[in-house]
Structure 1
Amino acid sequence: MQARDIMITNVYTVKATDTLKDLLEIMVKNRIGGLPVVDDQGNLVGMVSDGDVLRFLAPKPFQIIDLYNAMYLEAETIEDVLQQKLDTPVKKIMTKRFILKLSPDEEFEKTIRLLSQHHYKKLPVVNEAGRVIGVISRGDLIFNISQKMIAQ
């Protein structure tokens, strides 16, 4: 079995210039935890996950900004953070380097190894031109593994 046999082809994507608000709307509406980030031609330029969003939005605790005068900044609230950060472009929080991706011809076993070794929740599948044509998630693998076991 190859990646093309198990990948989801109805892929939701965002562009690097889309805002965090746009990203959150797509994630919530479609109940997904991560998306490929693509350019105008659909080429993969990054990945963004719910973990990236949470790390970016995490309010900061009290901070000392001047040790000599012991000046403190108040802790941020989530409301403060959201007001300040919802218009942030996705490119500021996406993973840009060391993006693992699969070709549609990748074997099932290699897909399992990549997802388990690197602790990713999903991997994009790209064609020879670098365009995103699918996504494979942990859930997709578990489903296919269980189908193989049940079919025996």
Structure 2
Amino acid sequence: MRDLRISEIMTTHVVSVRDDASLSNIDWEMTLAEVRHIPVVDDAGHLLGLVSDRDLLRNIARAERSRLPVSYVMSAAPLTVRPDDPALAALEVLLTRKVGAVPVVDDAGHLIGIVTSTDFLNLAYRALRGIPIDAPHVKA
């Protein structure tokens, strides 16, 4: 397989939230978007953190916590990658940190995409099936 870049496999239509969004709101956003990770950004689109479905599960069960802002549970300053980085860089973060997503940012720290473990599973599926990488994604 040729040297893939992050830009070739990342998701660019990313659902994100502000750091003052409530945990119950984040839960709703994740359900609607069918995602397990949501980046947290400021008004200018700079990445502040990342919240996962596991972060929510640990905190939303208690009713009083569902009103807390996402900044209470998000992983602040998550490891990130750039679109021109090798795809292997994101995979190494996923495997070594045991996380399910890596935000993609530009040089100014603006969120421009996300790479998930699902993206790599899709890539493996394509490789095993002999499907070109630039063919439309398989929606599972």
Stretches of structure 2 lacking an aligned partner (at least 5 in a row): 132-140
Whole-Å Cα distance in 2 between the matches of residues 53 and 146 of structure 1?
A: 30
Whole-Å Cα distance in 1 between the matches of residues 82 and 91 of structure 2?
A: 14
Indicate if the aligned counterparts of 2:81 and 2:89 stay in contact, CA closer than 8 A. Answer: no
Matched, 1:17 2:25: no
Deviations 1:57-110 (A, max 9, x none): 3xxxxxxxxxxxxxxxxxxxx5xx22x12221111111114x111100110222
Whole-Å Cα distance in 2 between the matches of residues 143 and 36 of structure 1?
A: 21
Deviations 1:32-65 (A, max 9, x none): 11111000011000110111111123xxxxxxxx
Q: 1:6 aligns with which of 9, 28, 39?
A: 9
Matched, 1:106 2:85: yes
Matched, 1:53 2:56: yes
Q: Which has the higher contact order (CA 8 A, sep 6+)?
A: 1
**TM-score under structure 2 length normalisation:** 0.86
1:142 — aligned with what? 121
**Counterpart residue identity of residue 88, structure 1:** L
Secondary structure at the counterpart of residue 76 of structure 2 = coil
How many residues were matched structurally?
128
2:68 — aligned with what? 88
Q: What is the aligned-residue identity percentage?
A: 28
Considering only CA atoms, is the larger Rg found in Structure 1 or Structure 2? 1
**TM-score under structure 1 length normalisation:** 0.79
Q: 1:37 aligns with which of 31, 35, 40?
A: 40
Shift of 1:22: 1.3
Give runs of ≥4 in structure 1 deviating > 6 Å.
none
